[in-house]
Amino acid sequence: MTLKSASMTANPQTTQVEKDLLIRQIPSLQGKKILIVGDVGLDEYVMGEVRRISPEAPVPVLEVNGEDMRLGLAANVAQNVASLGGIPMLVSVVGDDTGANLLRELSLKNGVSWDFMIVDKSRPTTRKTRVMAKHHHLVRVDYELKKYLSEDSEAQLIAIIQKNVHLADCVIIEDYAKGVISRSVVEKISAICKKAQKKLMVDPHRDKSGSFYQGVDLIKPNYDEAVVLAGMDFDDLRDNPNKVIEVGRALQKVTGATEVVLTRGKDGMTIFSGDHVTEVPTYALKVFDVTGAGDTVIAALSLGLVSGLSLVQSCVLANYAAGVVVGKVGCVPCEVPELIDYIQSVN
């Protein structure tokens, strides 16, 4: 690819030659195994139309005309790995409840194995129910317990990772702050990956400090998350023309990660790899819903890296994949045929 590394490059567009390279590389994603550790959940949608206000209280009455269930949180990362041709190895904890049964059924339907799942009867399976009038969210109802794992569940989690890490091409920590990912878990996974010589990536949560993720090789926050994780202040950065570079460098320092992929919405990505900084543009043609786009990005990014693409090339591929899913509503995977069509269609 001809994208240049510099202190701050202009947003280059992908040439036809570079597009062809990415398209030729997509078959190499097939069969790559990505071990994903993190919180999982079930996304439920209740959809309909609002034509009146309730006589019982000043609230809209939704006339339901459809319901849907989708894989959420780290399970969405896993289904994106599967839809792009990879093999997800999803390690997480669920409850012994209806939510887990529904999540298992949906996972298997979407090519996500249940072989590495742990059942903890003391925890509910995370469920998020969104009530929607057409494309408008009326309310969201969450069923969850934000609490770190018990010693027994954590021991089971680490044992599964230890036993299976050699099968994986790389490892992703997907942290949604529901309790699966603690500092202890990060430390243990980092040690396992270093011993097995597997690249460790993390999709972080802004409620943690950057030092929480020490030991990872690559961290992928959005800009606001990066500011918080780096321990910086938004007001101090407001008039700083080099604020993105300053934030990325600070995050490299506090986490020890060699690579930072900082996603910036309509402004694309800023990639920090050692001393090099590269900008990659966004390729979104239309945006309906950004829910789950970050999951698609890290899935495509990881597959690109283990298939032989450079970090910048992998980020370009990930941005194309994100462009596909933001044009849809809810957590949906990016399929290979639509990714190829999308790469070809974007000027």
The residue among 308, 316, 25, 17 whose CA lies nearest residue 170 is: 308
Residues classed as catalytic: 295
Strand pairing partners for 173?
A: 37, 202
**How many Å apart are CA 110 and CA 121, to the nearest integer?**
25
Would you list the DSSP string of 75-137?
A: HHHHHHHHHTT-EEEEEEEE-SSHHHHHHHHHHHHTT---TTEEE-TTSPPEEEEEEEETTEE
User: Angle of helix 74-83 relative to helix 98-109, nearest 10 degrees?
Assistant: 20
Tokens 């320092």 correspond to 253
φ/ψ (deg, to 5) at 119: -105, 125
The residue among 238, 189, 177, 243 whose CA lies nearest residue 217 is: 189
Q: Is the distance from CB of 333 to CB of 296 less than 8 angstroms?
A: yes
Q: Is the distance from CB of 39 to CB of 76 less than 8 angstroms?
A: no
The Cβ of residue 147 has, within 10 Å, a number of other Cβ atoms equal to 10
Cα→Cα distances 230→4, 254, 333, Å: 26, 6, 30
Q: Is the distance from CB of 300 to CB of 80 less than 8 angstroms?
A: yes
The residue among 167, 213, 171, 219 whose CA lies nearest residue 194 is: 171
**How many Å apart are CA 72 and CA 78, to the nearest integer?**
9
Strand pairing partners for 37?
A: 91, 173
